[in-house]
Amino acid sequence: MASGDVKEQQANEPGNFPRAGVSRPLFTWKYKHGVDGQGRIQFPSKWKMRATETELIAVVMQHETTRKDYILVLPYDLFNEFSARIHQDSFTSVKAQAWRHDYAERIMGIDLDGAGRFMLPGELRTPAKLEKEALLVGCIDRFEIWNPADYEEARVQERPILTADQRNPNNP
């Protein structure tokens, strides 16, 4: 099977979502799509996901080495795991409240329309510099949306990290 194909995995398999009967898409490969004037981007047909299957949450993130913003898109269940720290913080701490406000302002749910597109409002597109093109990068159980040039810069900086890690005798 080609690496861009999507398989539905059942929730009872190891490493998958705990809800019984829920399946999730497998996001692999990368796809470059245009961004139209309304901020709509075509969802890759190879990922074969319909709007009713999984709720998606988009989070503006910053790449650790390039300091470039991109958008991390997580299925709702995985987003809950990702956001677990918020639920552990104090409700009255000023620092926790400031952190929660900052975090929440970078998050938005996204939906697919009948034509297989999703819309990213300017508040999400602007930090990631998504103007004419967007690169959707599959990351197994989630995907990222990048400005294509920023993604290439990130990959250039990541490759030496991988090479150094491969030389580590403790690397499994």
Alpha-carbon distances of 22 from 51, 52, 85, 108, 157, rounded to whole Å: 14, 12, 24, 22, 37
Which letter does DSSP use for residue 116 in this model? S
Instruction: Tell how strand 133-138 and strand 143-146 pair up.
Output: antiparallel
Asked if 42 and 117 count as a contact pair (C-beta separation under 8 A), the reply is yes
pTM: 0.77
Hey, what CATH class is 27-159 in?
alpha beta
pLDDT tens, the chain, 172 aa long: 333 333 333 333 334 334 444 566 789 999 999 999 999 999 998 887 644 467 899 999 999 999 999 999 999 888 888 887 666 766 778 888 888 888 888 899 998 888 889 999 999 999 999 999 999 999 999 999 999 999 999 999 999 988 876 766 566 5
